[in-house]
Amino acid sequence: MSTPVYLDHAATTPMVPVAFEAMTGQLAHAANPSSLHASGRRARRVVEESRETIARSLGCRPGEVVLTSGGTEADNLAVKGIYWARRAEDPRRVRILTTAVEHHAVLDPLDWLAEQGGAEVELLPVDADGRLDPGTLRASIERDPASVALVSVMWANNEVGTRQPVTDVVAVAAEHRIPVHTDAVQALGVLPVDFARSGVDAMTVSGHKVGGPHGAGALVVRREVGVVPLVHGGGQERDIRSGTLDAPAIAGFAAAVELAVARQGEHAARMAGLRKRLVDGVLQVVPDAVLNGPGPDTWDAERLPGNVHLSFPGCEGDSLLMLLDARGIECSTGSACSAGVPQASHVLLAMGRSDAAARSSLRFSLGHTSTEADVEALVGAIGACVERARGVRL
């Protein structure tokens, strides 16, 4: 069986060799990093050296890196933990402001806080490209600044690749001393991501999106920001995230982050070139396909370089995905975390697309293993697959 053409790097990307080697090199050493004996101290050294590597790569202090099991846990810890801490300081702080296009790892915890924790969640609208207008945020804050506990705006969207104006968001929130959290899972490794320079108060990153292992990630959070823990136990990670640390996975995570940041510029340029070939090729074969998110005139500044999100009128995205899969081409209908859920993308609906348009869409995401041959394989297959998908629909 031939190797599949993998165009779903936004869901997960294959481990890079340096991460694999860093992780497997530690698997033979069984020890708890919290133990005081020599083996425990050795494991602790692996964890702390990895933390320093991550901090150096992300532009933060080692003490600001709270290690987690991945992006979902980090997002939950940020929005719940900061909300609880802020509300404990001032019960008036019940509002949480975010965008309507956030990942479900942010939206679902916020729904839970609204149902169980007394939060008032406001989903800020976005434009047709999925981008937040900082003026919209300002108007919402200024309606009652004292009631805002937290702002959470993703660095870049996981479905359509739109980059959010994080710097402007921070500037608006800072006028009222409101902390800002950003989910930077999709941005790391393809955009310049510097925690200190960004001005955000908390930032989520994940290992398996940058060539590291599953089950490792971090919430980078300023030490002066209060965070109530979700998990109580041994008091690890500044007593914010208890639990035995997975030293091998953390070593692999750190190696992947370091490599991703070091090669970011070169990688982004290569992805942008492949993206152009993919979009041009697909539109030549399927002229009525619609590119969702920022287009060629602005995509260098406003879109992730490896993201292509297209609607194919007259098709069901799920059917088209399976037809491509049968030809060995793997992609996504949107966020892999909500795969299998029979509903239109909340991101596209928030961008003003119709339900039918949202259901007819596919995401093709490029990564470090992507090649021109992968793009050509998709271009060669997409026409027949669309034709057949439209026939099935009829």
pLDDT lower than 50: segments of the chain: 393-394
- Please tell me the predicted confidence (pLDDT) of residue 341: 55
- Please tell me the predicted confidence (pLDDT) of residue 1: 55
- Please tell me the predicted confidence (pLDDT) of residue 2: 76
Query: How does pLDDT run across 275-326, given as a tens digit for each residue?
Result: 999 999 999 999 999 999 999 999 999 999 999 999 999 999 999 999 999 9
- Please tell me the predicted confidence (pLDDT) of residue 393: 47
Q: Domain limits of the chain?
A: 5-14+264-393, 17-262
Q: Which fold has domain 17-262?
A: Aspartate Aminotransferase; domain 2 (3.40.640)
User: Distance between CA 101 and CA 45 in Å, rounded?
Assistant: 39
User: Distance between CA 88 and CA 56 in Å, rounded?
Assistant: 33
Q: What are the angstrom distances between the C-alpha of 347 and each of 159, 259, 355? A: 7, 31, 11
- Please tell me the predicted confidence (pLDDT) of residue 30: 81
Write down the catalytic residue from 315, 331, 337, 385. 337
CATH superfamily name and code, 5-14+264-393 = Aspartate Aminotransferase, domain 1 (3.90.1150.10)
User: Distance between CA 100 and CA 132 in Å, rounded?
Assistant: 9
315 counts as catalytic: no
- Where b means 16+ CB within 10 Å and e means fewer, 38-74 reads eeeeebbebbeebbebbbebbbbbeebbbbbbbbbbb
User: Distance between CA 95 and CA 167 in Å, rounded?
Assistant: 21
Q: Which residue has the tokens 């532009």?
A: 59
- Please tell me the predicted confidence (pLDDT) of residue 392: 59
- Please tell me the predicted confidence (pLDDT) of residue 342: 59
- Please tell me the predicted confidence (pLDDT) of residue 340: 55
> Which tokens hold the place of 291?
């590119």
Are residues 34 and 234 in contact, defined by beta-carbon separation less than 8 angstroms?
yes
User: Distance between CA 163 and CA 151 in Å, rounded?
Assistant: 16
Q: What is the DSSP letter of 203?
A: E
- Please tell me the predicted confidence (pLDDT) of residue 332: 95
The reply to whether 17-262 shares the fold of 5-14+264-393 is no
